[in-house]
Amino acid sequence: MRQNAHLLAAAVLAVALTGCSQSDTDESVADTAPAADTATDPTAAEAAPNVLLADWEGPYGGVPAFDSMDLEQLKPALEAGMAKNLEEIQAIADSDEPATFDNTIVAMERTGRELGRVFTYWGIWSSNVSSPEFRDIQAEMAPKLSEFFSRINQNEKLFARVKAVYESDEVKSLRPDQQRLVQLVYDGFARNGATLDPESKKRYAEINQRLAQLSTTFGNNVLADEEQYVLYLSEDQLGGLPESVKAAAAAAARGKERDGEYAITNTRSSMDPFLTYSTERDLREKVWRTYYDRGDNGDEHDNNDVIAEILNLRHERVQLLGYDNYAQWRLENRMAKTPERAMALMEAVWPAAIARVKQEVADMQAVADAEGAGITIAPWDYRYYAEKVRKQRYDLDSDEVKQYLQLDKLRDAMFYVAGELFQFEFKPVAEGSVPVFHPDVTVWEVSDRNTGANVGLWYLDPFARTGKRSGAWATAYRGYETFDGPSNVLSANNSNFIKGEPGQPVLISWDDATTYFHEFGHALHSLSSRVAYPTLNGGVRDYTEFQSQLLERWLLTDAVINNYLVHHETGEPIPPELVAKIKKAATFNEGFKTTEYLASALVDMRYHTTDPEGIDPDEFERKVLAELDMPKEIVMRHRSPHFNHIFRGEGYASGYYGYLWAEVLTADAAEAFAEAPGGFYDSGMASKLVEHLFSVRNAMDPADAYRAFRGRDATIDALLRARGFPVPGEGSAGQQ
């Protein structure tokens, strides 16, 4: 597998998911793996072939043997892979030759192929087909993996060679992407303990081991609550639910061997439509509380103590490195650079967001009062009455829109956009020619439609099931690189749509359709890569969401609307008057969406800029929200006890603001397309998009990449316009 394994494995174990699980390879963080006494003898491992370590065989440059995954082989494969990787690393460290770019930096890029392959399978077991047996292995191996990373990051001889290259005159003669590679590799060591004294290094490694255990525990606790709490309903409890929601709930119940009942599972894709349509207020409250109390039930899966220990250990670790707080360390090499800059952006948007919420709540309360409901709007009423206001104000019925949003048709629409902008063509592979890990998974061959050359494969795992974590994410089983010859990309998208009746189309909401496009944007980012080295296939976290957010804008383009949004029964295109209503209501409920997101991002930043000694996460969350004047009718999108983004790993820790930071770029870039002669399908803009924003990945500073595309820096004005908030100097913009 053509990935730098110690970076890949760090990303796998430090992953913070929901939007996506792209490797955060701008930081070779030692978050997690084994010591010498846990590594098996490589020669013994070779005696019994292990499919998890083996070279990938078959078409398309070789593909993972997902159909031959054997959990019993995972632990020995990890141990053998780590042992081999340490041998490779030590050989570089022990070299008698003067350190150069080729014999040190490039040599490191070639290490860890076997371990990289193992971690592809680990990722599938962890996210797509988890089981109690895997979780036992995960809990056992996480601290050993952390120790493994520490042994690499704290290898003094290796770091001395990296530093020698970093400080040498040779760097000046390298290409810009090679210079960036040297910088990233050096920072990966310097920012993760390589410069510490022996005693501090020891403590740093101990902290990482414990954090690896805690992150694993946190994620497994959330998954346990998602699997454990299922609400089963009878026919007389389905008031208000559209037929599509009923059918999905019936199918979910059958999947759990509860024929004749209806299951509302503890995932967003099941919870959201129930809260939107159910007339049973007591059941809405029950579903709401069950979902938002994940990890916060005072039982064996409660995450509050886990959070407190994670925060204290993170704080102690960055103090060893000389930082005042965790966020200061984390943001140093991101676009925001400092917590203060990230907070300034969020605080600029927050007042407009909560002001809009007050307006939305007033509108909903008026509807409830007119109905004689005799209630005060509560969090479990928000979606229900927002839908009533939407119908009243815009004559827009979300379920009516849903009839035109077929999962397969939307997938075809994404393929069309990819063809027009990226010149990609998608064709299903022959059945059985590419192994998959579950029958729901389908695979497409991706090729350049101009040359016919293979670009790679795209895997799709769309449906929810037991053992699969919630949310939607993208990943890559193999990234692009050229330094040892071009490689084709193996990219994947994963969702949790509710599988319907056999043979019937799966209908999804407008928000889910937007997310579908969003995650496909991550896949296109991987497939478009033209970087030379594995490490450059990563990204800066508050930038990598930009590409995916931008792709969301193509869902509302005429070409997609006219050709792919067709009624699931009649095949008729969505009526122009319904499209007009969708566009008119584009900023409807923006107060809710922005506030629930920003509350999570602000709490995340406050967690990581506060001395956590003695912290009570439950109390801290309430206190921060009170200080922010959080509307009582809304909660954080991700409450602390199930905030996987920041506690299941470190990828988004003190970085959840990044979605908003990226949205500034997104809104600005979208306006550039809207102003182009060919609009969103302008060929010139598309070429610039691919060249400057997608293909370069992390081979250049993202700020420079964006300037190359736009000719200037982005401003917040386009973001405010896109969300329908007032823009300073422009008066009121796009009220509801």
> Does 30 score more than 50 pLDDT?
no
CATH number of 5-195: 1.10.1370.40
pLDDT cut 90: percent of the chain above it: 86
| Start and end residues for every CATH 1.10.1370.40 domain found in the chain | 5-195
Name 262's bridge partners.
233
Angle at 221 between CA 219 and CA 224, to 5 degrees: 110
- The size of the chain, in residues, is 736
d(CA 722, CA 700): 28
Q: pLDDT band at 726, cuts 50/70/90?
A: confident
The CATH number for 304-396+588-647, chosen from 2.30.110.10, 3.40.50.450, 2.40.100.20, 1.10.1370.10, is 1.10.1370.10
Q: What is the pLDDT of residue 105?
A: 98
- Mean pLDDT throughout 83-106? 97
Q: Which of 251-255, 362-366, 483-487, 719-723 has the highest mean pLDDT?
A: 362-366
> Does 14 score more than 50 pLDDT?
no
519 tagged catalytic: yes
Residue 475 belongs to what H/E stretch? strand 473-478
d(CA 327, CA 314): 10
Q: pLDDT tens, 220-234?
A: 999 999 999 999 999
Q: What is the pLDDT of residue 4?
A: 52
| Start and end residues for every CATH 1.10.1370.10 domain found in the chain | 304-396+588-647
Name the 3-class secondary structure at 494. Answer: strand
Name the 3-class secondary structure at 315. Answer: helix
Residues 279 and 255 sit within 8 Å (Cβ to Cβ): no
Q: What is the pLDDT of residue 48?
A: 59
| Start and end residues for every CATH 3.40.390.10 domain found in the chain | 407-549
Q: What is the pLDDT of residue 265?
A: 94
Q: pLDDT band at 45, cuts 50/70/90?
A: very low
Q: pLDDT band at 731, cuts 50/70/90?
A: low
> Does 27 score more than 70 pLDDT?
no
Question: Hey, what's the torsion of the CAs at 351, 357, 362, 367, to 10 degrees?
Answer: 170
Q: b/e for 207-244, b at 16 or more Cβ within 10 A?
A: bbbbbbbbbbbbbbbbbbbbeebbbebeeebbeebbeb
Q: Structure tokens of 552? A: 């969301």
Residues 43 and 31 sit within 8 Å (Cβ to Cβ): no
Q: What is the pLDDT of residue 134?
A: 96
d(CA 541, CA 333): 10
**Number of CB atoms found within 10 A of residue 360's CB:** 25
Question: For residue 125, which of 113, 116, 114, 133 has the smallest C-alpha distance?
Answer: 133
Q: pLDDT tens, 101-159?
A: 999 999 999 999 999 999 999 999 999 999 999 999 999 999 999 999 999 999 999 99
Q: pLDDT tens, 284-305?
A: 999 999 999 999 999 999 999 9
DSSP 665-731: HHHHHHHHHHHSTTGGG-HHHHHHIIIIIITTTTSS-HHHHHHHHHSS---THHHHHHTT--BTTTB
- Nearby residues of 398 by Cβ (< 8 Å), 6 or more positions away: 276, 387, 390, 509, 510
d(CA 623, CA 425): 51
Q: What is the pLDDT of residue 541?
A: 85
Fold of 407-549: Collagenase (Catalytic Domain) (3.40.390)
Half-sphere exposure of 585 (CA within 13 A, CB side): 22
Which residue in the list 88, 387, 519, 596 is annotated as catalytic? 519
**Number of CB atoms found within 10 A of residue 260's CB:** 10
Angle at 576 between CA 571 and CA 579, to 5 degrees: 95
Q: What is the pLDDT of residue 736?
A: 35
Q: pLDDT tens, 365-423?
A: 999 999 999 999 999 999 999 999 999 999 999 999 999 999 999 999 999 999 999 99
- Mean pLDDT throughout 500-514? 91
Angle at 530 between CA 528 and CA 532, to 5 degrees: 150
> Does 734 score more than 60 pLDDT?
no
